[in-house]
C-alpha cells in the first residue's frame, strides 16, 4: 500500500509556473534621503511611473526627499505637508463664538452636577 500512495507537493512550496516568455517592464531605481536622520531609501518604480517627491523614512518616519544625482530636489513651500491639528479641524467646523457657547453650556452642566454655583453670578 505504501508503494502505491500518491505523492504531492506542499501547498505553496514551489510554483509550477516558469518565467519563460515573460517580458518584465522597464524599471528605474530612485534614492530618497531623509534630512532628519540621513537615512537613504532606495525604491524601484516602473519606468513609465512618476516617482513621488517625498517618501516616508523607514527609520524615523519623516519625509525623505527624492535625490537627483547627488542633490535632493527643491520642494516648493506649498508642497510641504502641513500637519493639521485637532484644533485646526475643529475651527473648520465651528466658529470661536459657537465653541465658547458650547464650553459655557458644558461648564454649567458640570457645575450643576457637582452642586457648585456659577462663578460671577
- DSSP letter for each residue of 14-47: S-----TT--PPPEEEEEEE-TTT--EEEEEEET
pLDDT by residue for the chain (121 residues), tens only, comes to 556 666 666 666 677 778 888 888 899 999 999 988 888 999 999 999 999 988 998 888 888 999 888 888 877 766 556 788 999 999 999 999 999 999 999 999 999 999 876 665 5
* Whether this model's pTM surpasses 0.85: no
| Residues 47 and 22: beta-carbon distance below 8 Å | no
Binding site: which residues? 34, 39, 57, 60
Judged by phi (left if over 0) then psi (alpha if -120 to 50, else beta), residue 10 lies in beta
Binding site for Zn(2+): which residues? 34, 39, 57, 60
| Residues 37 and 57: beta-carbon distance below 8 Å | yes
Q: What is the pLDDT of residue 18?
A: 80
Amino acid at each position: 500500500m505504501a508503494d502505491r500512495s500518491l505523492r504531492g507537493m506542499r501547498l505553496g512550496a514551489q510554483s509550477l509556473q516558469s518565467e519563460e516568455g515573460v517580458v518584465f517592464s522597464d524599471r528605474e531605481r530612485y534614492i530618497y534621503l531623509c534630512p532628519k536622520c540621513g537615512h537613504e531609501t532606495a525604491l524601484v518604480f516602473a519606468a513609465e511611473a512618476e516617482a513621488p517627491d517625498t517618501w516616508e523614512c523607514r527609520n524615523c518616519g519623516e519625509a525623505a526627499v527624492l535625490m537627483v544625482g547627488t542633490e535632493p530636489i527643491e520642494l516648493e513651500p506649498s508642497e510641504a505637508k502641513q500637519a493639521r491639528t485637532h484644533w485646526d479641524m475643529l475651527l473648520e467646523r465651528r466658529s470661536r463664538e459657537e465653541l465658547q457657547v458650547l464650553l459655557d453650556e458644558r461648564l454649567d452642566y458640570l457645575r450643576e452636577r457637582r452642586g457648585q454655583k456659577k462663578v460671577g453670578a
